[in-house]
């Protein structure tokens, strides 16, 4: 934003015994190591203010603080012994106003000068202007003026500043601190949309300024570049996507589809799923105190086995997020699985039951497969091969042997 100021008349500058009648440039002081710039020549008064003057910082009528007091009394600088240039004094005062109030100094100019329809302020003959007219005088867009207008309106609703109706053009008031300004002002047009309001609300919930989140949302390419270049940004994006997917089924589907179509990601997912299943097997033993045998039986876990499972689980839980859990999960699973097999073999009753369960499982699978065989296709089409008959005959022989063994066991028991 361009800020225009009307320079004031400057008196001739005295440097020791030398009087400078005309400000023609730097004049050397009595001592050669010091020099002082002369006062600039005052230009002719302007008949109308520059357009940018409408948004210039409001200069306080009285200087505030040590800086303003020193400038007002014209005290000499202790180090260089020079008088303060009036232009420098004015800049310092303007800077002090903005440092204390921030955007409020500009918002006040809008609030006291802008009114829809350009109606006169209450109790005064001074007429306010529309936002469009004010923007034309300021040399900026009406949208920018309205953002300041809306910021003041929200602050007025909160009782922080006066309402527009009581403000008179040219009148100064006490302004809030600069830190409060960003709570009401947003520099982005997207903040007024439904999408922008949702982003702003999420940003406030995260404890950051809405303008930062809106800027990122309006520049996805910059976000992509940050994710690709910075591991920390990528980690933050990963966490945000996971949180978003919990409530967004469509995003879940898109992510699953993208992973399934990428071979490397598909392998990584399969590996992590395998590790998660193994960790779940160990955790189930610790939490429920039960084991699942190879045949599928669920029995109480021996104390030794449960203690070993707890030890491995504690090691897994202590892993950092950056550490690979696959190798540790595999070791824990193999160890516990071996202890389960040992527990089955050391318990005679459990061993017999385990073998009986395995036999029933195999018999059920074989029966299901054989039932799915059909002779209709063999009769309708010429698909017969000699190898088929040989395999069926071998299967028949194996079944006969199995039947004989079972009958023998039945008669001896």
In a domain, 61, yes or no: yes
pLDDT reported for residue 370: 79
Task: For residues 308 and 390, state if they share a domain.
Answer: no
Task: For residues 55 and 136, state if they share a domain.
Answer: yes
**Is pLDDT of 161 > 90?**
yes
More reliable by pLDDT, 131 or 81: 131
- The residue out of 350, 383, 402 marking a domain boundary is 350
Average pLDDT of the segment spanning 15-24: 42
In a domain, 209, yes or no: no
**Is pLDDT of 36 > 70?**
no
Please answer whether residues 171 and 112 qualify as being in contact, where contact means their C-beta atoms are separated by less than 8 angstroms.
Answer: yes
Q: What are the angstrom distances between the C-alpha of 245 and each of 248, 249, 251?
A: 5, 6, 6
Task: For residues 345 and 403, state if they share a domain.
Answer: no
**Is pLDDT of 95 > 60?**
yes
Confidence of residue 163 (pLDDT cuts 50, 70, 90): very high
pLDDT reported for residue 375: 65
- Give kind and range of the element (H or E) at residue 100: helix 86-101
Task: For residues 150 and 271, state if they share a domain.
Answer: no
Cα–Cα dist 61/358, whole Å: 97
pLDDT reported for residue 170: 87
Q: What counts of helices (H) and strands (E) characterise the chain?
A: 17, 6
pLDDT reported for residue 117: 61
Contacts within 8 Å (CB) and 24+ apart, 68-74: 68/92, 68/93, 68/96
Mean pLDDT of the chain: 74
Q: Which of 46-50, 255-259, 319-323 has the lowest mean pLDDT?
A: 46-50
In a domain, 164, yes or no: yes
Average pLDDT of the segment spanning 58-67: 40
Task: For residues 294 and 403, state if they share a domain.
Answer: no
More reliable by pLDDT, 257 or 387: 257
Task: For residues 326 and 385, state if they share a domain.
Answer: no
Q: Which of 337-346, 368-377, 400-409 has the lowest mean pLDDT?
A: 368-377
* DSSP 8-state code for residue 118: G
Per-residue pLDDT tens for 98-130? 777 778 988 999 999 998 665 655 555 678 888
Average pLDDT of the segment spanning 275-281: 87
| Geometric angle at alpha carbon 355, from 349 and 356, rounded to 5° | 90
Confidence of residue 413 (pLDDT cuts 50, 70, 90): low
pLDDT reported for residue 228: 92
Task: For residues 402 and 294, state if they share a domain.
Answer: no
In a domain, 177, yes or no: yes
In a domain, 139, yes or no: yes
Confidence of residue 21 (pLDDT cuts 50, 70, 90): very low
In a domain, 359, yes or no: no
Domain range for 288 is 267-350
Task: For residues 326 and 404, state if they share a domain.
Answer: no
Helices (H), 158-297: 178-181, 194-206, 210-217, 220-229, 231-245, 249-260, 263-288
Task: For residues 162 and 280, state if they share a domain.
Answer: no
Cα–Cα dist 88/37, whole Å: 12
DSSP code string of 315-362: HHHT--TTS--HHHHHHHHHHHHHHHHHHHHH-HHHHHHHHHHHHHHH
Task: For residues 383 and 297, state if they share a domain.
Answer: no
* pTM value > 0.75: no
More reliable by pLDDT, 77 or 83: 83
Please answer whether residues 133 and 115 qualify as being in contact, where contact means their C-beta atoms are separated by less than 8 angstroms.
Answer: no
More reliable by pLDDT, 247 or 53: 247
**Is pLDDT of 209 > 80?**
no
**Is pLDDT of 162 > 90?**
yes
Per-residue pLDDT tens for 68-81? 334 344 444 444 44
Task: For residues 329 and 297, state if they share a domain.
Answer: yes
Confidence of residue 348 (pLDDT cuts 50, 70, 90): confident
In a domain, 31, yes or no: no
* DSSP 8-state code for residue 298: E
Task: For residues 346 and 380, state if they share a domain.
Answer: no
pLDDT reported for residue 230: 92
In a domain, 262, yes or no: no
Structural domain total, the chain: 3
């Amino acid at each position: 934003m361009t800020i225009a100021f009307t320079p004031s008349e400057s008196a001739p500058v005295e440097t020791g015994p030398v009087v400078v009648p005309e400000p023609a440039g730097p004049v050397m002081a009595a001592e050669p190591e010091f020099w002082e710039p002369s006062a600039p020549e005052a230009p002719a008064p302007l008949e109308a203010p520059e357009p940018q003057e409408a948004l210039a910082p409001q200069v306080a009528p009285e200087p505030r603080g040590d800086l303003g007091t020193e400038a007002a009394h014209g005290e000499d600088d202790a180090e260089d012994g020079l008088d303060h240039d009036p232009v420098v004094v004015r800049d310092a005062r303007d800077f002090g106003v903005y440092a204390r109030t921030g955007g409020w100094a500009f918002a006040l100019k809008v609030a006291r000068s802008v009114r829809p329809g350009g109606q006169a302020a209450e109790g005064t003959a001074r007429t306010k202007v529309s936002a469009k007219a004010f923007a034309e005088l300021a040399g900026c867009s009406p949208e920018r003026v309205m953002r300041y207008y809306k910021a003041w309106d929200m602050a007025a609703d909160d009782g922080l500043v006066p309402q527009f109706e009581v403000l008179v053009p040219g009148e100064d008031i006490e302004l809030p601190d600069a830190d409060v300004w960003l709570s009401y002002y947003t520099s982005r047009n997207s903040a007024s949309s439904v999408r922008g309001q949702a982003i702003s609300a999420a940003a406030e919930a995260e404890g950051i300024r809405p303008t930062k989140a809106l800027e990122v949302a309006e520049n996805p390419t910059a976000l992509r570049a940050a994710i690709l270049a910075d591991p920390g940004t990528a980690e933050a994006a990963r966490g945000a996507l996971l949180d978003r997917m919990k409530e967004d089924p469509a995003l879940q589907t898109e992510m699953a589809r993208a992973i399934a179509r990428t071979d490397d990601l598909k392998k990584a997912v399969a590996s992590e799923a395998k590790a998660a299943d193994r960790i779940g097997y160990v955790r189930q033993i610790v939490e429920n105190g039960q084991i699942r045998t190879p045949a599928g039986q669920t029995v109480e876990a021996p104390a030794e086995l449960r203690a070993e499972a707890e030890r491995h689980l504690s090691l897994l839980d202590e892993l950092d997020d950056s550490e690979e859990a696959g190798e540790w999960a595999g070791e824990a699973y193999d160890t516990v699985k071996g202890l389960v097999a040992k527990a089955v073999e050391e318990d005679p009753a459990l061993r017999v039951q385990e073998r009986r369960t395995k036999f029933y499982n195999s018999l059920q699978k074989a029966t299901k497969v054989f039932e799915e065989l059909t002779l209709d296709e063999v009769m309708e089409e010429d698909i017969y091969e000699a190898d088929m008959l040989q395999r069926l005959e071998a299967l028949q022989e194996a079944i006969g042997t199995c039947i004989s063994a079972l009958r023998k066991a039945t008669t001896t028991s």
